Each structure stands twice: as C-alpha cells, then as structure tokens.
A and B are shown apart, each in its own frame.
Chain A
Amino acid sequence: MANIRFLPFAHTALKNLFSRPATTKYPFEPAVYPERMRGHIEIAIADCISCGLCARACPPGALKTDRAAGTWTIDRFDCVQCGSCVIACPKKCLRMAPGYCAPGPDKRSETFTRPGFPPPGEKPAAPQPAGPAPEEPVVAQAGGKPVNDTSTCVFCTLCAKKCPQGAITVDRAAKTWKLDADSCVGCGICVSACPKKSLKLR
C-alpha cells in the first residue's frame, strides 16, 4: 500500500484548468490542413487528354474516362485518396488537394467534361457551322494509336522515353520503331514529343 500516491493527477488537472484546451471548436473555427494533406482529387480538366491511365491506376476503380465524350468521372465515395492517379497522370492535370470530401446521403459520381466537348446529358451537337474550329494544340486530341511515318522518323527515341506505359521500342541502329498496341493507351504524349512530327494518332 506504500505506493498509493496522493492526488497524482492534481498537477495535470490544475494545469488543464488554466491552459487552452487541446481541442479546437471545429465547426466554428476552421480546421487547418497541412499542405500535403490527401483530402480529395482535383482535376484541371482543360489539360486532360482522356488517356485513361488514372482509371487503370485506381485501386478501387473509382475513376472513369470516356475518350469519345471527353469526360472524366470520379466516384468520390469510392475514392480512397491514395494518390495513385496523381502519380500516373502523364499530363499532371490531377492534384491531391487538402480538405475532406463532403459526406452525402447517397452515392453519386461527379463528371467533368473537357472544353470543346458537349456537356453531359446533351446530345452531341452538330459541328458548329459558323466560325473556324479553335486551333487544336498538337496533343489535344487523343484517341487512336500512334502511327509512325518512317520516311521522316529519325529514330531519336524521344517518344520511347516519354511513353508513360513503355509501349514504344525504338532501335536506333536497326532503324526500327515498334509499338506494343496492348499497353498503348493512346495518350498522345509521343506525338507531342516527336521533333519531326512523324507520329500521328490514328
């Protein structure tokens, strides 16, 4: 019984009485998130090329891309905020942002449409009659697989280096260019990397 101490927590209790609480009054005081916090995924949809690499890298399968409709869909309730898509994205248009996803009464997904595509729900509009179509940057239209025009190709291997899937094999000495069509996702990065413009997506 010798080790019964008298009011061992008196010191802590007194200290707690006169110091600020360890907790914050959350809904009234905004929560401060560190910069690296993995809260939710944000997309700069204008840079997206609908390559689908993010959807392949997503462990729970929360992402969907539709190349024809130019959409990127995320099911926020399936997303586990692992950041795998952010690493996989070849255009770096995905970002992990601080702040938790809002809860909701039902599961639903959120769809983003690339500029130049009709918003979801609408019928694909007929090509606009008036005005020339906006000038397409070299990479903007992804779709199809790259085809090499060997007459202009200099076998510089830049396309092979840039390919996020490692689907292109270029042999400088033998002057061959090979595409592994199964692993190619048609992201079009090789096309934009090609200094001789000899690659085309088809």
Chain B
Amino acid sequence: MAKQSIVPFGPQHPVLPEPVHLDLVLEDEVVVGAVPSIGFVHRGLEKLVETKDFKNYVYIAERVCGICSFGHGMGYCEAIERVMNVEIPPRAKYLRTIWMEMSRVHSHLLWLGLLADALGFESLFMQSWRLREKILDVFDLMTGGRVIFSVNTPGGVLKDVDGDMLRQLLRTVDELQKELRPVADSFLREYTVGSRLHGLGVLGPEQAVELGAVGPMLRASGVRYDARQLGYAAYPELDFEPVVLTEGDSYARCELRLRELTQSFDLIRQAVGKLPEGPIAVPVKGNPDGEYFMRIEQPRGEAVYYVRANGTKFLDRFRLRTPTTSNIPPMLELLHGCQLADVALLILTIDPCISCTER
C-alpha cells in the first residue's frame, strides 16, 4: 500500500470561487478519501424569519443566493401561498415561469463559463459569459435588477411587463440560441474538453438516488425526475419533457445543461406566447397559519422550502434545503479514486453554491 498523505483543498482555490474546504486523503496522486468542511459563510438567514414580517422576508429569502435568487423568492412565496390557500392570477404564474427559465439560462451559462475556466479554456469562458450578459440585460430591463430581482411577493408579482419588453426578450432568446451553437459545439465536440470530461466521475442511477443527488446530477445519471413536473407556476400548462441522459459522467452533466438551455429557450417562447392578460397580484389578507413543504426545480436542482406559520405575521420556521446540500454527498463519492488534478473539476460539475447551502 502506498503511503497516504492529506492535502488541504480550499477554501480559497484559484479554480473554485466557493468557500468549501476539503481534506483530501491521497495515495500518490489518487484521492482515496475526502472530508468536507463548510461553515465559512453561515449567516443565519433562516433565523431572521422569526423577527421579520412574512411579507418582507421574501426580500431576505431571495438574497440567500446571488444566482438562484429568483427561485428562492418564488419558492418561499409559493409555500406561503399554499399555506394561505391563495390562488395567484394566471399572468403572475406565467411571469414567474418566464423569469424562472431566464434564471436557468443565466445560471447554466455561468456554470458553462466556470467549467471552461476550470479547464483553462479562457476564450470559451469569455464567450459563455458574454452570452450570459445578454440575458442579464433583459432581466435589468424587465425587473430592474441584474441578479437580485425583488419582483416576487406572496400573492403574485410586483412588476408587470409590456409588449416591448417581451419582444426584446424573444429577440434575445433567438440571438442566444444562434450564438450558443458554436459555443455548445466547442463544449461537446472539442477534443481537449472531451478528454477532460469523458468518463470522469461516473455516478450510476441507483447510487445517485441513494446518495440523494438532485437536479442535473440526478438526470445526467438516468433518473427521470424534474421538480418542474410537480405543477407549480405555469409549468403544468407548458409542454416539456425532462432532459435525461444515462452516462452519468461529467461530460453528460455538461451536455445535459446545454440541452436544458435549449429547453429553457423553448419554455420561454411558449410562456410568452401564452401569457394571459389580467392582474399580476391578488391582495393577501391576514396571516398564514399552517405548514407546507414546497419543492421547486432550481437551475442547480430541486430545492425544498418549508414554511411553518403560527397565525401571526412572524413565521415559526423557514427551512431552505438548497440543491448543493443534497449534491455534496454524491460529490464526495465521485472524488473517490479520481486524480488530484480532477478534484476541482469534479466539485465544479455539481454546480456548487456553498454560500446558499449555509444560508
């Protein structure tokens, strides 16, 4: 048996901008064990729900994460609406769906850029983020924010959109789809990219379920589960099929996200086409009383929002289980037997967001 050595990895690492620390147990260059350690940025945002009005807490919920911000605000609002039995107007449902899919586009493009950066492919990184900038501009136009949107409220949305904005959105989506093609080609067909991704970190379907993987991790391993099918917002009225791949390696996770981008473009077009007229919010009267577990599909995977209310304007408990919390155990499994040089890349393929994991 080779001599074992322990190499600390992170929390500051050139490839990984996330504050996660790993103690890697190495035999020569091969990782045989990894102990994660998080907790550098715990902010206690769940606790704040006890001292903030439940209607104002939505602004805090969406500030849990800078990338999934729209989803966090929406998940919290949907949970509150379920507890209070509020039916939001159809237009609000469609607007939420459009913004959710735009969030997915910007999150996946961000991830693709980071992946290219991890591979040392700087120009591809730049191209991905240049595309992402276009969708952020539309966000800025529609909601007034680039990453934190503050448009959700229990009972609907706060801002309506007009025809000009929708036309601009559709134009941008068309542009993105056209310009994504050469970028996607480089990810999927480039020899250098492929040689780093093919066969790296294979996760089988049984293993993925057992370890609790969610989102693109789970679907790239051949499990057909997409929380969008649960029927929140306007998803039940839109036509889509979860993208599922069977290889379960890093290449499949990359390809899956690229395909989800195309799917999101399609969903945005459908939702804009069907966007009904009408009010964008209903007044919410009184205080919530009850509890609900809400699941929504974030770009990074399924997130769970638990709301427990006691009939006052302060909630008893708000729990947010982020996709990364669930994806860390499978990530540790992937690290077993990989090369030290691939560690950063493997951590990246789960699209980690440690800050929102710690809340």
Contact = CB atoms under 8 A, between A and B. Distances in A.
* Direct interface between A and B, CB < 8 A: yes
Interface of A: 1, 3-5, 8-9, 11-12, 22, 33-34, 36-38, 56-59, 80-84, 87, 96
B190 A8 contact: yes
Interface of B: 52-53, 56-57, 59-60, 63, 123, 127, 130, 133, 140-145, 148, 150, 158-159, 182, 185-186, 189-191, 194
A192 B159 CA distance: 29
Contacts of B53: 56-57
Contacts of B190: 5, 8
Max chain B C-beta neighbours (<10 A), residue from A59, A81, A96: A59
Nearest to A58: B56
Given A4-B191, A81-B148, 6 more contacts: A3-B194, A36-B140, A38-B144, A57-B53, A84-B56, A84-B150
26 contacts: A3-B194, A5-B189, A5-B190, A8-B185, A8-B186, A9-B186, A11-B182, A12-B127, A22-B133, A33-B140, A34-B141, A34-B144, A36-B140, A36-B142, A36-B144, A57-B56, A58-B56, A59-B60, A80-B63, A80-B148, A81-B148, A81-B150, A83-B144, A83-B158, A84-B56, A96-B144
Nearest to A12: B182
Contacts, number: 60
Nearest to A5: B189
Contact of A59 (B52, B141, B194): B52
A36 B185 CA distance: 36
A80 B59 contact: yes
Contacts of A9: 123, 186
B150 A34 contact: no
B57 A59 contact: yes
Contacts of B60: 59
A84 B140 contact: no
Contacts of B141: 34, 36
Contacts of B194: 3
B186 A36 contact: no
Given A11-B182, A59-B57, A83-B150, A36 B143 contact: yes
B59 A82 contact: yes
A58 B51 CA distance: 12
Nearest to A22: B130
A3 B191 contact: yes
Contacts of B140: 33-34, 36-37
